Amino acid sequence: MNLWHRMRSHWKSLLVSTILFLSPLMLSLPSQAAMPKLTIGYVPVLGLTPALVARSLGLYRKEGLNVRLVAFESGPALYQAMAGGRVQMAYAGVPALLEWGSRGLQVQAVAKVEDGVFNLVARKGYHGPIRGSVVGDVGQGSGQDVMLRGFLLPSHHLATRQVKLRYLPQSDMLGALASGQLDMALLGAPQSTLAVLKGARVVASVRDPGFILLATRKLITSRPKIVAEVIRAHRLAINYVNHHPQQAADILAKALQVPAVTGPGVRDSAAKVVLIGLRTLHFSANFTASDFSLYQKMNQRLVRLGLTQHTVHIKRFFDLHWAGS
C-alpha cells in the first residue's frame, strides 16, 4: 500500500472513531433541549417528600422532564398560582382543592401523596387550656385551618370564637411559639417534631388528610404524557422513601433546611428530626375508601365554616384513571 492509501485509510479510521465518540453527545443535545419544562408547586412540609426525593435522585430527568419545584407559604397561595397559570402541577391539600374547585378552578387530583397527623402543640411552659388561648393558623382554607376549626375544636366542644386565632406563615410558627406570641399551634411534621423536641407538649391531635398530587385540566388534556411521567417518578420516589427512610431523611433535611436540635440533654441531627417526622406519615400514591370518607366530611365542614357555599360531588375533582401509571 502506497503512502496515499495509508494516509487515506488512517484518516478514514480517525473519522469513524470521532463520529462514534461524538454520536451519543450529538444525540443527547436535542433531547436535552426538547425536554419539557414543568413547574410543580408545593408547601414546604414533609408531605412533599416524594417531589424532593424525585428531584434528588434524578427521577424526573430519567422520565425526560425538566422540573422546577417552587415553594409557597400556604395552600391557598399555591392554588392562586395555579389559577394564574404559573404552576402546572402541585403537591397540596384537599380542602383548598374542594374550595377552589367549587369556584371553578380547573384542577384535578391525579394521585395521592400521604396522610398523617396534625398535632396541636402548646409552647414550652404554657399549661393553659385550649379555650381562650392564642392559636396559630396558616390561613383560612388551608388543611390546618379546616382540621382545626372544622374538626379539632368541635371535638373539644369549642367554637372558633372561643380561641384567639392568629394567622401566620408556616415558617414563622415555631418562632412565634418560642417568643410567646402564640400559646398553641396546629402543626404537621417536621414543624411539630421540632416543637416537641424543643420542649413543647402535644395537647391534642387530629388526622392530617395529607397532600395530593394535582394537575391543571389544561395539562391533563393537552399533555397527558407529561402527567403520566410525573406520576411514574412520584411512585418511584414513594417506593424509595418507604424502603430507604434514612436516606430520604438525609435528602429532606438538606432540601428543607431543617435545623438540628441541641440543648441540655438533647442532641438530634437534622436528619434525625426528619426521620422522626417521617414515621408519623403514610406515603402512598393510591386513594382509599377511608380517604374519600374523610374528604366528604371535609366537604361538609367547608360549608359549615363558610369557605364554600354548598357541598359538591368531590369525585369530579379526582381523575383516578391514572392509578396504573
Domain positions in the chain = 37-115+210-247+283-324, 117-208
Long-range contacts of 148-155 (CB under 8 A, 24+ apart): 148/118, 148/120, 148/186, 148/206, 149/305, 150/298, 150/301, 150/302, 150/304, 150/305, 151/206, 151/207, 151/297, 151/301, 152/118, 152/120, 152/186, 152/204, 152/206, 155/204, 155/206
Would the CATH topology of 37-115+210-247+283-324 be identical to that of 117-208? yes
Q: Name the class of domain 117-208.
A: alpha beta
List, run by run, the mean pLDDT of 10-residue segments along the chain (325 residues): 48 46 42 75 91 97 96 84 93 90 92 96 97 94 91 97 94 94 95 93 94 95 96 97 97 93 81 94 95 93 91 90 67
pLDDT at 17: 46
Pairing of strands 201-208, 114-122: antiparallel
Structure pTM? 0.84
Alpha-carbon gap, residue 124 to 97, rounded angstroms: 34
Q: What does the DSSP 8-state code read for residue 41?
A: E
Q: Report the candidate in 302, 304, 312 with the shortest Cα–Cα distance to residue 146.
A: 302
| Residues 6 or more apart in contact with residue 122 via CB below 8 angstroms | 128, 133, 183, 184, 200, 201, 203
Homologous superfamily assigned to 37-115+210-247+283-324: Periplasmic binding protein-like II (3.40.190.10)
For 130-162, give the DSSP string: STT-EEEES-TTSHHHHHIIIIIHHHTT--GGG
Phi first, then psi, for residue 44 (nearest 5°) are: -75, 70
Alpha-carbon gap, residue 222 to 78, rounded angstroms: 22
pLDDT at 15: 44
pLDDT at 16: 44
Phi first, then psi, for residue 111 (nearest 5°) are: -165, 155
Point out which residues pair with 67 in neighbouring strands: 38
pLDDT at 11: 45
Cβ-contact 134, 164 below 8 angstroms = yes
pLDDT at 30: 39
Phi first, then psi, for residue 2 (nearest 5°) are: -75, 175
Cβ-contact 113, 231 below 8 angstroms = no
pLDDT at 9: 53
Half-sphere exposure (Cβ direction) of 313: Cα atoms closer than 13 Å:
2
User: What is the maximal distance between C-alpha atoms in the chain?
Assistant: 102
Q: Strand, helix or coil at 169?
A: coil
